[in-house]
Amino acid sequence: MRVLVIEDDSDTAAYVAKGLKEVGHVADCASNGREGLHLASTETYDVLVVDRMLPEIDGLSIIKSLRNSGRHTPALVLSALGEVDDRVQGLQAGGDDYLVKPFAFSELLARLEALVRRSDIEVPATKLKVGDLEMDLLARQVRREGRVIELQPREFRLLEFLMRHSGQVVTRTMLLEKVWDYHFDPQTNVIDVHVSRLRSKIDKGFSDPLLHTVRGAGYVLRAPE
């Protein structure tokens, strides 16, 4: 995927660009708002990473003017101010996701991939399939190797999110935001307990595990190779 990083802190920009290149993506960098807006409106990118506080034109204004000119490239807003209304402002301005600095690169990557994937496949699916695991969204039923697996409503939503992002790393924070729909800062890893319960239901007794833990990042649901 092709990413534009608009960030005035050269260290952060280099870190993000280098990380993206290491995993095989293309990254361009702009160090001020004017240059960033110019690149974003003339070149084609899959996703934008925009810092909120930028010299010349601030991040939210860049996103607003892009949206006004009809460009809907998904944008992730970076900010050092981690407050609730800052996030609300960021999303109101047309940003698609919000991440507070400092962040782990794995968190940023997971979110960028989710944003790009979302703009690809937002077609309403009725069936999801990962390996031999099948989910029927209409009948709200999950089967693996033809065996019905009973899930609680929240476990069903958790699995649905993982299946929609199969092959991608999803972080704990992403799960809290997308599955539980709360932006908050858990003092303990509450998500791990939910994931391990789900894992015991979909992986226990089957030869190939589907749900993997990615150290230092989160989880990935992946069909065996």
Partner 1 sequence: MVLFSTSALLLLVFIYWSTAGYMLRQADETINAEIKGLAERYETDGFKGLTAQLAERLAAQQPGDSSIYLLTDANLSPLLGNIDRWPRVPEDARGWVNFRLEGPESERVHTARARAFALKGNFYLLVGRDMFELQDTQHLIVRTLIWGMAITLALALLGGVMMSRSMTRRIESINRTSREIMSGDLTKRIPTTQSGDDFDALAENLNRMLDQIELLMDGVRRVSDNIAHDLKTPLARLHRRLESLRGRESRNGLNQELVDSAVQEADGLLATFNALLRIARIEAESRREGFGEVDLQSVLCDVCELYGPVAEEQGLALEPPPKTSLHMHGDRDLLFQMLANLLDNAIKYTPAGGRLRISVNAANRRLAICDTGPGIPEPERHKVFQRFYRLDQSRSSSGSGLGLSLVAAVAKLHGIKISLADNAPGLCVNLQLPE
Query: Cβ 70 to partner 1, closest distance in Å?
Result: 28
Q: At residue 12, what is the residue type? A: T
Query: Cβ 185 to partner 1, closest distance in Å?
Result: 7
Write down the residue that tokens 């361009």 correspond to: 28
DSSP letter (8 states) at residue 178: I
- Return the structure tokens found at 108: 């940023």
Stretch that binds partner 1, among 41-49, 59-67, 74-82, 200-208 (CB under 8 A): 74-82
- Kindly tell me which residue out of 43, 55, 69, 81 binds partner 1, with binding defined by CB under 8 A: 81
Binding status of residue 23 toward partner 1 by CB under 8 A: no
Binding status of residue 32 toward partner 1 by CB under 8 A: no
Stretch that binds partner 1, among 34-42, 96-104, 132-140, 202-210 (CB under 8 A): 96-104
Query: What are the C-alpha distances in Å from 3 to residues 43, 183, 223?
Result: 11, 26, 27
Binding status of residue 225 toward partner 1 by CB under 8 A: no
**Complex with partner 1: residue 43 or 83, whichever CB lies closer:** 83
Interacting residues of 91 by C-beta distance below 8 A, sequence separation 6+: 98
- Kindly tell me which residue out of 24, 68, 70, 84 binds partner 1, with binding defined by CB under 8 A: 84
Interacting residues of 219 by C-beta distance below 8 A, sequence separation 6+: 162, 169, 170, 175, 195, 211, 212, 213
Query: Cβ 155 to partner 1, closest distance in Å?
Result: 10
Binding status of residue 167 toward partner 1 by CB under 8 A: no
Strand 75-79 with 97-100, pairing: parallel
